[in-house]
Amino acid sequence: MNDAQRILDLREAIRRHDRLYYVEARPVISDREYDALWDELAALERANPGLVTPDSPTQRVSGEPLAKFNRVRHDPPMQSLDKTYDKADLAQFDAFLRRRLPEGTAWDYVVEPKIDGVSLSLLYRHGTLVRAATRGNGVEGDDITANVRTIRSIPLTLPCDAPTLEVRGEVYMTREGFAALNRAEEEAGREPFANPRNAAAGSLKLLDPREVAKRPLDAVLYAAGALEGLAFPTHTEMMRAFAQWGLRTPPWQRLCLDLGQVYAAIDELEGLRHAFPFEIDGAVVKVNQRALYPTLGSTAHAPSSARAYKYAPEQARTTLRAITVQVGRSGVLTPVAELEPVALAGSVIARATLHNADYLREKDIRVGDTVEISKHGDVIPAVDRVVPELRPAGAEPFAMPARCPVCGGEVERLEGEVATRCVNPECPAQRVGRLELFVSRNALDVAAIGGRMAEALVQAGLVTQPLDLWSLDPAALAAFRLTAEDGTERRFGKKAQEVAAALERARGLPLHRWLFALGIPGIGVTAARVVAAPFASFSAMFSDPLFDDVLAFYEATARKTDDRDLLAGEIVTRAQALAARGLLLRDDPEKPFRDRFLLTVKPEMAREMAKFLRSAHARRVAERLAGLGIDPKPVAEAPVGAALAGKSFVITGSLSKPREAFERLIRENGGTVQSAVSKKTSFLLVGAEPGGGKYAKALALGTPQLDEAGFLALLAPGEGREPSRPVEPEAPAAQPYVQDDLFGGLS
Ligand code: IVH
């Protein structure tokens, strides 16, 4: 056989196995056999470069990183769905269809999971994937073809010769893939993603397809856009055709003949919520007869033939077996509910925080009660209420202990504070807590002292303060015996070397990691970065009155009554001094004086930092660090670059990373961030679901708009971290998409 034919056969075989593996999840050959096919194809293509075609499986990851994404127009537009949380609205939907459609029209419904991902359009021409795009504003999106080609379940060719087949669906990241990605992000010192949807959106917006290929992305296709040369009478038939061509379709679908069946399907799906590898946030109810869609029409943003039904956050009932009290590293006593284990939102819950004594009293929570629990923010279990009818006789209100349950020392509750605290700084619970924080991943990341090791070291008296770690004798540490959960004893052994290596590495970690590690009240991961930024080093913080200056600034602005008074000059001078230290986020002279300035450092941060720097504890830490030859420095933040100099930004909508990350990027590159759109705003940075007010104002003023990719392109080259030669911003590619209702309050 000649090379050309063998290449074609190998490609066909690899496509078939890709489909069996990625789409149908039933591989028929081993990874090794697959790799062998792949290697043979790659070798033949290397030998015959003229025979390489873009639809070859070897060409999924190819091309250079882009400077920015091109914009593409959606025809028809990519719409959204009308949402409801209430089944009664679905009855109204049914009644609406009855009114709208000619008498005697019959239709049925399809119920599908509503996948919580990022909408996607795939354009196939004569069976070849020629374009993939994000939804963008619905009328225009980004051309992300190179990125989408890296998703292995998306076929580069289809056995369908229609001139135009545009399929639409959702790109998502599996829960598992998301967890793994976030672990890696955090380890690399980057901000973790807020949820799988943000992670998927952020991944698709990367400009380098090679990076995208490393992200665990997948896609499901559930709708059609433009169609030429083919038509489907029903949604179910369309899904069948998609599946036959090798496109992944929703893994669960129900055909429902009436509203009763729709309700039943919605309930069934809700029970399966956590069985899917991706997150779902509801059900989509679609009219099955596609032929009826033109008659049904659509509103400005949603088709009239479908509705989204969103699921409420889940709740469960269980009994409260006991209330225990934990002591945290700052000595705070936290009551904890010990529950009869119960399944909730995909996991088994046996404990939940009860916050503090006030919370217990307000909710009147007593041991023996039947309680309702839910997951707040979909992760942290909380007790929402008790079911009073089910309270057993003799259940008594809970009283916080009068002494610390760990050290037996005194506890106190300060005026105006909800927390009860153990006041003994030598309390082992506090020592263990401080050590655990110190070695945690976002702090100094001494992984070998995880689990029970911190507690054991404190109990054995080897460590009382975290900095004692540097005084530990390596041999003694290696010989240290740790009792495992099952009661067996093991020597710490080789792990001692890991500890030593981690401590050595910690010497060079940036200042913000150290500040976070020290457990200063109110200084979390993000605040630590903010307060570290203006200083040259840890030791330099002690002789610098910056935090007092910040507090004085806040006091002055709080005292200020009108714009003409004498304080105005003083405030401006103070603001300028703080701006010189890089602390000024916003100076918007159009605002009333009190809101004119925005600082990176919030007053609470400044107060806690000022207090910490004056404490005897901080001075001891500084002395010991000096003795160890450690003086942490802030990360070399990119010097203020010219790329965004003189440009002011307002941000609206949700972006792929927390807003602070974008604000930081803007400031690092010399731009300023404002909270509201004014005539002076250079750009509106628009994320998903932009807030009406800013968006409408920007439209009214003709403020140029940027999406995330457009914004990053301003910071070219690469990721935009390093400021570089100034890049002239382009005019926004085209008219922004305007929903009719946005004009309501304008003109
Ligand atoms: S049909 C006209 N089916 O939900 C839009 N959408 O909130 C046609 N979504 O923008 C959408 N799962 O990104 C449809 N099974 C599903 C879906 C689904 C998730 C998304 C879609 C849409 C958003 C609306």
Q: Is the pLDDT of residue 8 over 50?
A: yes
**Ligand 1 atom 1 nearest Cα:** 223
Atom of ligand 1 nearest to the CA of 79: 2
CB 166 near ligand 1, within 6 Å: no
> What pLDDT is attached to residue 191?
64
Ligand 1 pocket test, candidate residues 79, 83, 115, 166, most atoms within 8 A of CB: 115
Ligand 1 centroid to residue 688 C-alpha, Å? 14
pLDDT value of residue 704: 87
424-459 residue pLDDT tens = 888 999 999 999 999 998 899 998 997 688 999 998
Top mean pLDDT of 59-73, 248-262, 347-361, 379-393 is at: 248-262
Cβ atoms of 395 and 369 within 8 Å: the answer is: yes
The answer as to whether 186 is a domain residue is yes
Can you give the CATH number for the domain in which 470 is found? Answer: 1.10.150.20
Ligand 1 atom, smallest distance to 223 CA: 1
Each residue's pLDDT tens digit, 593-628: 778 888 999 999 999 999 999 999 999 999 999 999
CA distance 694 to 651: 8
Where residue 386 sits, what CATH number does that domain have? 2.40.50.140
pLDDT grade, residue 349 (50/70/90)? confident
- Is 744 a residue whose pLDDT tops 60? no
In a domain, 235, yes or no: yes
Q: Which two structure tokens, joined as six digits, stand for 341?
A: 């284990």
724 pLDDT more than 60: no
Q: Is residue 661 part of a domain?
A: yes
Q: Outline where DSSP puts E strands in 484-559.
A: 489-491
Q: Going along 380-441, which residue ranges are E strands?
A: 380-386, 411-413, 420-422
Residue with tokens 């009108």: 562
Ligand 1 touching residue 732 (CB < 6 A)? no
Ligand 1 centroid–CA 649 distance in Å is 31
The answer to the question of residue 66 being in a domain is no
Whether 51 shows a pLDDT value over 70: the answer reads yes
Q: Which of 114, 118, 248 to mutate to test the pocket of ligand 1 (most atoms within 8 A of CB)?
A: 114
Instruction: Pick from 78, 118, 170, 299 the residue to mutate for probing ligand 1's pocket: most ligand atoms within 8 Å of its CB.
Output: 170
- Among 249-253, 433-437, 562-566, the least confident range: 562-566
pLDDT value for 378: 52
Three-class SS state of 270: helix
| Domain closes at, from 486, 506, 526 | 506
Kindly state the DSSP code that residue 171 receives in the 8-state scheme: E
For the Cβ of 253 lying below 6 angstroms from any atom of ligand 1, the answer is no
What is the pLDDT, as a whole number, of residue 344? 81
Query: What average pLDDT does the segment 555-566 reach?
Result: 81
Both 546 and 410 in one domain: the answer is no
Q: Which of 261, 277, 310 is where one domain is finished?
A: 310
How far is ligand 1, taken at its centre, from the CA of residue 146, in Å?
Answer: 23
Residue 83 Cα: closest atom of ligand 1: 7
For 88-92, 221-225, 607-611, 666-670, which range has the lowest pLDDT when averaged over its residues?
666-670
Q: Which tokens is 719 given? A: 């990721």
CB of 220 shorter than 6 A to ligand 1: no
Is pLDDT at 636 greater than 70 in this prediction?
Answer: no
User: How much is the average pLDDT of 114-126?
Assistant: 96
Residue 119 Cβ < 6 Å to ligand 1: yes
In this structure, are 185 and 263 located in the same domain?
A: yes
For residue 306, give the ligand 1 atom closest to its CA: 1
- CA-wise closest residue to 235 among 184, 168, 179: 168
With the most atoms of ligand 1 within 8 angstroms of its CB, the residue from 119, 254, 276, 278 to mutate is: 119
Between CA 482 and CA 489 the distance in angstroms is 6
309 CA distance to ligand 1 centroid (A)? 11
| Residue 15 falls inside a structural domain | yes
| Average pLDDT of the segment spanning 171-178 | 90
Task: Say if residues 180 and 216 touch (Cβ distance below 8 Å).
Answer: yes
- Cα–ligand 1 centroid distance for 114 (angstroms): 6
The response to whether residue 155 sits with its C-beta less than 6 Å from ligand 1 reads no
At 189 the pLDDT is 60
pLDDT range class, residue 742, cuts 50, 70, 90: very low
Q: Which two tokens stand for residue 63?
A: 């091309």
3-state secondary structure of 14: helix
Is the Cβ atom of 284 under 6 angstroms away from ligand 1?
A: yes
Residue from 74, 284, 304 whose mutation best tests the ligand 1 pocket (most atoms within 8 A of CB): 284
Reduced to 3 states, what is the DSSP secondary structure of residue 9? helix
pTM: 0.52
> Does 530 lie in the same domain as 498?
no
Residue 511 lies in a domain: no
Helix axes of 603-614 and 525-532: crossing angle, nearest 10 degrees:
70
Residue closest by Cα to atom 17 of ligand 1? 114
| 119 plus 207 within the same structural domain | yes
Residue 309 has a pLDDT of 97
Judge whether residue 381 has pLDDT over 70: yes
Q: Residue 570 and residue 651: Cα distance in Å, rounded?
A: 30
Q: In the predicted model, is pLDDT for residue 738 greater than 90? A: no
CA of 82 to the centre of ligand 1 (A): 10
User: Is the domain of 592 the same as that of 460?
Assistant: no
Task: Confirm whether 260 is domain-assigned.
Answer: yes
Predicted confidence (pLDDT) at residue 563 exceeds the cutoff of 70: no
- Across 483-506, average pLDDT: 87
> Do residues 149 and 276 share a domain?
yes
Last residue of a domain, one of 310, 330, 350: 310
Does the beta carbon of 250 sit less than 6 angstroms from any atom of ligand 1?
Answer: yes
Asked whether 278 and 174 are in contact (CB, 8 A), the reply is yes
Tell me the C-alpha to C-alpha distance, in Å, between residue 478 and each of 436, 448, 475, 494, 742: 19, 12, 5, 7, 67
Ligand 1 neighbour 222 (Cβ under 6 A): yes
Least confident of 129-138, 274-283, 615-624: 274-283
Catalytic positions, written as ranges: 114
What is the mean pLDDT of the segment spanning 390-419?
90
Q: What is the mean pLDDT of residues 720-725?
A: 30
Residue whose CA is at the smallest distance from ligand 1 atom 23: 80
pLDDT band at 484 (very low <50, low <70, confident <90, very high): confident
Q: Is the CB of 170 under 6 A from ligand 1?
A: yes
Please report which confidence band the pLDDT of residue 722 belongs to, taking 50, 70 and 90 as the band edges. very low
Ligand 1: does its nearest atom lie under 6 Å from the Cβ of 303? yes
Encoded tokens for 32: 């090794």
Q: Is the pLDDT of residue 718 over 60?
A: no
Distance between CA atoms of 186 and 191, rounded to whole angstroms?
6
Q: In this structure, are 416 and 497 located in the same domain? A: no
- Which pLDDT band holds residue 745 (cuts at 50, 70, 90)? very low
State how many domains the chain has. 6
Higher pLDDT, 321 or 64: 321
Q: Is the CB of 249 under 6 A from ligand 1?
A: no
Look at 263-267, 569-573, 611-615 and tell me which has the smallest mean pLDDT. Answer: 569-573
Tell me the CA–centroid distance for residue 110 and ligand 1, in Å. 13
Domain coverage including residue 594: 516-627
**65 or 94, which is more confident:** 94
Domain co-membership, 208 together with 129: yes
| Domain CATH for 33 | 1.10.287.610
Structure tokens at 239: 């899904």
Residue 142 lies in a domain: yes
Residue with tokens 């729709």: 262
Strand order in the sheet with 118-125: 128-134, 118-125, 164-173, 217-228
Q: Kindly state whether residues 549 and 612 are assigned to the same domain.
A: yes
**Given this model, what pLDDT does residue 729 score?**
30
What pLDDT is stored for residue 425 in this prediction?
81
665-681 CB burial, b ≥16 within 10 A, e <16: bbbbbbbbbbeebeeeb
649 lines ligand 1 (CB under 6 A): no
**Same-domain status, 280 and 243:** yes
Residue whose Cα lies nearest atom 22 of ligand 1: it is: 80
How high is the pLDDT of residue 709?
83
The answer on 278 and 157 residing in a single domain is yes
The stretch 322-329 carries a mean pLDDT of 92
Residue 396 Cα to ligand 1 midpoint, Å, equals: 50
For residues 25 and 109, membership in a common domain is answered with: no
Average pLDDT, the chain: 88
